[in-house]
Amino acid sequence: EPEVTQTPSHQVTQMGQEVILRCVPISNHLYFYWYRQILGQKVEFLVSFYNNEISEKSEIFDDQFSVERPDGSNFTLKIRSTKLEDSAMYFCASQPGQGFQNTIYFGEGSWLTVV
């Protein structure tokens, strides 16, 4: 079964450093998302991406965050200057098309620890 792959699986970074989390969505999917889950808390929406641009974003997704799809394959989340509270599991997800019946596929997550 096709899957969303994410790298790295775990990254430790110092506060203030830039971090790039990478995702390879399922081929031919059109909608891409980043969600995050702080340890012990609910999964939270960050941003959605369609047609090479952000379609929606949450309050969490401030100027420190950015996303891009540089080569039509990878989908990246960049955090410019990490803060301690950015420590979380970051999930990438993709969806083949619009419509509730389209299953959303989540990756295994990238665990980010900011020290």
Partner 1 sequence: KNQVEQSPQSLIILEGKNCTLQCNYTVSPFSNLRWYKQDTGRGPVSLTIMTFSENTKSNGRYTATLDADTKQSSLHITASQLSDSASYICVVSPNTGTASKLTFGTGTRLQVTL
What residues make contact with partner 1 under the rule CB under 8 A? 4, 31, 33, 35, 41-45, 48, 50, 55-56, 58, 89, 91, 93, 95, 98-109, 111
Least Cβ distance, residue 65 to partner 1 (angstroms): 15
Distance CA 37, CA 40 (A): 8
Distance CA 5, CA 107 (A): 5
Least Cβ distance, residue 102 to partner 1 (angstroms): 8
Q: Is the dihedral of CA 9, 70, 66, 31 positive or negative?
A: negative
Least Cβ distance, residue 64 to partner 1 (angstroms): 20
